[in-house]
Every structure is written in structure tokens, then in C-alpha cells.
Amino acid sequence: GLTSRLQNVFGKLRGKGKLSEEDVNEAMREVRLALLEADVNFKVVKDFIAKVKEQAVGAEVTKSFTPGMVVIDIVNKELTELMGGTQSKLAKSNRPPTVILMAGLQGAGKTTSSGKLAKMLMKDKHRPLLVACDIYRPAAIKQLQVLGEGIGAPVFTMGDKTSPVEIARAGLAHAKEHGNDYVIIDTAGRLHIDEALMEELRQVHEVANPDEVLLVVDAMTGQEAVNVAQSFHSQLELTGVVLTKLDGDTRGGAALSVKAVTGTPIKFVATGEKIEPLEPFHPSRMASRILGMGDMLSLIEKAQSNIDAEKAAEMERKMRTAEFTFEDFLEQMEQVRNLGPLDQLLDMLPGMGKMKDMKNVKVDEKQISRVEAIVKSMTKVEKQKPEILNHSRRKRIAAGSGTSIAEVNRLIKQFDDMKKMMKQFSSMMGPKGPKGGMK
């Protein structure tokens, strides 16, 4: 990730001072690479780098920050700003129903997202009506009906013989009659943008007079998402974007490009096929995802609600000073286990993604119990001073925990790796960490 790359750039540069143009140039090469790797449009990258450079040259490096941290801070703030700063809210009409038109290419996730949007609104006690305007794909109407049934939302259909324009008109009337305060219009998509599709959407737009025109784009399509957004925006005046399939391994650079190129804010993200409430878009979290720093905010938020704050602060201190013992290792594992799926958590933790690559750390729930057994078979001194673990001690521990010497060796190696990682990470973050440290 970018964190470790900048660590290398600034490896020799320590302590107080101002960032020189030379330092910044070198750092910007890494930032540029990280953005291109995340599939951000190259023109967007170019403008962005110029802007960041301006701020970074001459920036003060105070005692509590490392040079790398100063740069990341500027990059992160600018990225967040570029994606709209704060979260954008869904429009709400003064004269209900609020009408939401869903548009996008075939397979982008319009129908699925319509269902998620309905579910989100229902959670807030609204009464959305789903309107089936995709009359072209044979199974499209059925798909929306099944989906509506699953979440208990009404679906308005007129079969596939009536035009989408008429269906939209009738759907709106239906909503007014039945007291639905939101109308979500699911439309057809094509594989590529074509004039007939646009014309139809314009007509539906005209009769529905939507408060929101949400473009649904597939984050996995990367650069292509920008072209799609540009075409739709020139024809339809989009009010927002729903970025889907962020559960894939994309870094989400499309989010940045789409906003930068069209000026349309991303309002929601979707992260799976299951119909869960649509998630609001958090620019700052997307910024750290794009930078490959791990979704630290999510992790901290999650941890805050689950981990004992005092223990976490103590752990942070230990990470900083690298006086991390097997007892801490075990305790941390137990706390982490309470947080949820381990794989997901490790992905969110900066540096941990790299550890997984090293293939030393296997994240397997079953293995944790074995790790527990091994650590519990150590004496107090061994847990605190792992360096004394010679062959005969390891043999004893293996026998005591019902594991093998190979397993014990592997665990000790993992522990050492983690310790090294933490030391690296905490020196990157400076003595106080970003904005006062992880609490």
C-alpha cells in the first residue's frame, strides 16, 4: 500500500523541518502510482497531483508527525474533498411522493440497488413503491417482483406490452393514491449506451419529473464507468451515483473519477448481491480505500463499539514502543475474534493486507483455537520474553498444547512478523499517530 511506499521514500528523512520540493516530488510519484493502480482516470490524477504538490512543498513537519504522515494527511484530505467532502443526502420532495429514477447500463445493478434503496427507506419508516419499467428483458419484471416480495415492498407492473413512459405515469398515480411517499423507477439498461435507450429515459424523465436521477455504475468496470457516467450525465442531468460491486477487489478509483469528471456526487455504495439496505457513501473512507491504506475509519469505528477503550489505548502504546508480548498477541486475537470475520478485519487494518500476502498469517478461525492452545502452554516468562524460546521449550509447548513443533515454530515466526509490522506501522504514524492516535 501507499503507507509502506511513502515510508520508503521518507525513510531517511526524520524529525522536524519543512518538506522540500525534491522530497515531495518523490512522494508524489508514489501517490500517482497508487492512484493509477486504483484505476483513477489519468487526467484526474494529473490535476490532483498538481494540487497536492502545491500544498505539500514547504509544509511543516512537526514533532508529532513523520513526513510520510504529513503527505498522506494532505493527500487524504484533498481526495476526500474531491469526492464531495461530506456525505450527500437523498433528495426529499416537499410534495410527496419523492421520485427516484434509476438509470445505468445492463448488469450494473439497477434492479438490485432499487430493492436495497427500498429496504433502506423502509428502515426509516417510509413506504416506497417500486415501479417496473424494464420491459425488455424477459425476467426483469419478475426479478423486481420477487425482490419486492422478499423485503415486503409493493411493486407496480403493467407487464411488458405497455411503454415504460406509460408505466411510469401510471406508477406515479398509483403511489399518490396509495400513500407511497417514495417512488423508485427501475429502468432498462443496454450493454452499451445507445440513442434509443437515452430517448426512452428522457421521456420517462419528462413524465416522472424525478427528484433524484441516480446513475448506477459498476465499480469493477473502472475507467469505463467514467465514460458511462459522462454520457448519461450529458443526457439526463444526474443528481447522484450509486457505486455497486464494491465487495469485489476493486480499489474504487472509479468513485474518484466519476465525481471529478461529472461533478455528480456518489450518494450510495453497494457491496453484495443480498438485499440489504443501501449504504451511504463516505468520501473519507473511500479516500483511504483508494490510497490502499485500508479502511481504517471503518475499523476504528467497529473497534470502538467492540473493544474496551482502555485496553485499546494500552495496546496502541505497546505497538508504539514495540514491547508486545505473546500475552498481548493472544488478548488481541481474542478481541479481534469478537469483531467479526477475521479476513475482512485484516483487510481493513493497514499493513495487514501485506501480511496476508506473506502467507505467514493464515486467517482461519479454527487455527486461532490452536494458537490459543500454544500460547496458553507457554510459561509467563516465555510469553513475555519470546526470545528465550529454544528448541526444548518449543518441544515442551508443542506437547503441552497438543500441536507440533512445526506449528509452534510457525506461530513464533508469525508473532515476530507482526511485531516487526507494528513497529514499522507505528513509526510511520509518528509518536502520536494521525490526529492524536487510534483510540
- Residues in contact with ligand GDP by the rule CB under 6 A: 104, 106-112, 189, 216, 244-245, 247, 270-273
Q: Cα 408 from chain centroid?
A: 35
The Cα–Cα gap between 52 and 58 comes to: 12
How far the first Cα of the chain sits from its last, in Å, is 22
Residue 106 binding partner per list ligand GDP, Mg ion, none, with a CB distance cut-off of 5 to 8 Å that depends on partner kind: ligand GDP
AA letter at 416 = D
- Supply the minimum distance, in Å, between the C-beta of residue 141 and ligand GDP: 11
- Supply the minimum distance, in Å, between the C-beta of residue 254 and ligand GDP: 13
Residue 208 binding partner per list ligand GDP, Mg ion, none, with a CB distance cut-off of 5 to 8 Å that depends on partner kind: none
Q: Does 246 count as an annotated binding residue?
A: yes
The Cα–Cα gap between 269 and 245 comes to: 8
Q: Does 189 count as an annotated binding residue?
A: yes
- Supply the minimum distance, in Å, between the C-beta of residue 143 and Mg ion: 6
Residue 111 sits in the site that holds Mg ion (CB under 5 A): yes
Q: Does 287 count as an annotated binding residue?
A: no
Residue 107 binding partner per list ligand GDP, Mg ion, none, with a CB distance cut-off of 5 to 8 Å that depends on partner kind: ligand GDP
- Supply the minimum distance, in Å, between the C-beta of residue 27 and ligand GDP: 34
Q: Where does residue 138 rank: exposed (0-12), middle (13-18), buried (19+ CB within 10 A)?
A: exposed
Residue 104 binding partner per list Mg ion, ligand GDP, none, with a CB distance cut-off of 5 to 8 Å that depends on partner kind: ligand GDP
Q: Are 298 and 144 in contact (CB under 8 A)?
A: no
Per the structure block, which three cell numbers stand in for 123?
428502515
The Cα–Cα gap between 172 and 182 comes to: 9
- Supply the minimum distance, in Å, between the C-beta of residue 109 and ligand GDP: 3
Judged by CB, which is closer to ligand GDP: 78, or 247?
Answer: 247
Q: Are 310 and 186 in contact (CB under 8 A)?
A: no
Minimal CB distance to Mg ion: which residue?
111
Judged by CB, which is closer to ligand GDP: 216, or 397?
Answer: 216
- Measured CA to CA in angstroms, residue 226 lies from 85, 259, 339 at distances of 20, 9, 36
Judged by CB, which is closer to ligand GDP: 116, or 410?
Answer: 116
Judged by CB, which is closer to Mg ion: 111, or 221?
Answer: 111
Judged by CB, which is closer to ligand GDP: 107, or 154?
Answer: 107
Per the structure block, which three cell numbers stand in for 6?
511513502
Judged by CB, which is closer to ligand GDP: 244, or 264?
Answer: 244
Q: Does 162 count as an annotated binding residue?
A: no
Judged by CB, which is closer to ligand GDP: 58, or 272?
Answer: 272
- Supply the minimum distance, in Å, between the C-beta of residue 308 and ligand GDP: 34
Q: Is the dihedral of CA 240, 244, 248, 254 positive or negative?
A: negative
Judged by CB, which is closer to Mg ion: 52, or 238?
Answer: 238
Q: CB count, 10 Å around CB of 245?
A: 21
Q: Does 247 count as an annotated binding residue?
A: yes
Q: Are 130 and 154 in contact (CB under 8 A)?
A: yes
Q: Cα 5 from chain centroid?
A: 21
- Supply the minimum distance, in Å, between the C-beta of residue 432 and Mg ion: 50
Alpha helices in 182-325 (DSSP H): 195-208, 223-236, 253-262, 283-290, 296-306, 309-321
8-state DSSP, 131: E
Neighbour-count burial for 27-48, b at 16+ CB within 10 Å, e otherwise: bbebbbebbeebbbbeebbeeb
Q: Does 325 count as an annotated binding residue?
A: no
- Measured CA to CA in angstroms, residue 99 lies from 39, 74, 203, 243, 375 at distances of 33, 38, 15, 20, 59
Residue 164 binding partner per list ligand GDP, Mg ion, none, with a CB distance cut-off of 5 to 8 Å that depends on partner kind: none
Question: Which region among 72-80, 108-116, 391-399, 427-435 touches Mg ion (by CB under 5 A)?
Answer: 108-116
Residue 112 sits in the site that holds Mg ion (CB under 5 A): no
Question: Which region among 80-88, 111-119, 169-177, 364-372 touches Mg ion (by CB under 5 A)?
Answer: 111-119
Judged by CB, which is closer to Mg ion: 134, or 407?
Answer: 134
Residue 113 sits in the site that holds Mg ion (CB under 5 A): no
Site string for Mg ion, 378-417 (x = CB under 5 A): ----------------------------------------
For residue 102, give the nearest of 184, 42, 28 by alpha carbon. Answer: 184
The Cα–Cα gap between 336 and 197 comes to: 49
Strand ranges, E, within 59-136: 60-61, 98-103, 128-132
Residue numbers in the known binding site are: 104-111, 186-190, 244-247
Residue numbers in the known binding site for GTP are: 104-111, 186-190, 244-247
Query: Residues in the site for Mg ion, rule: CB under 5 A?
Result: 110-111
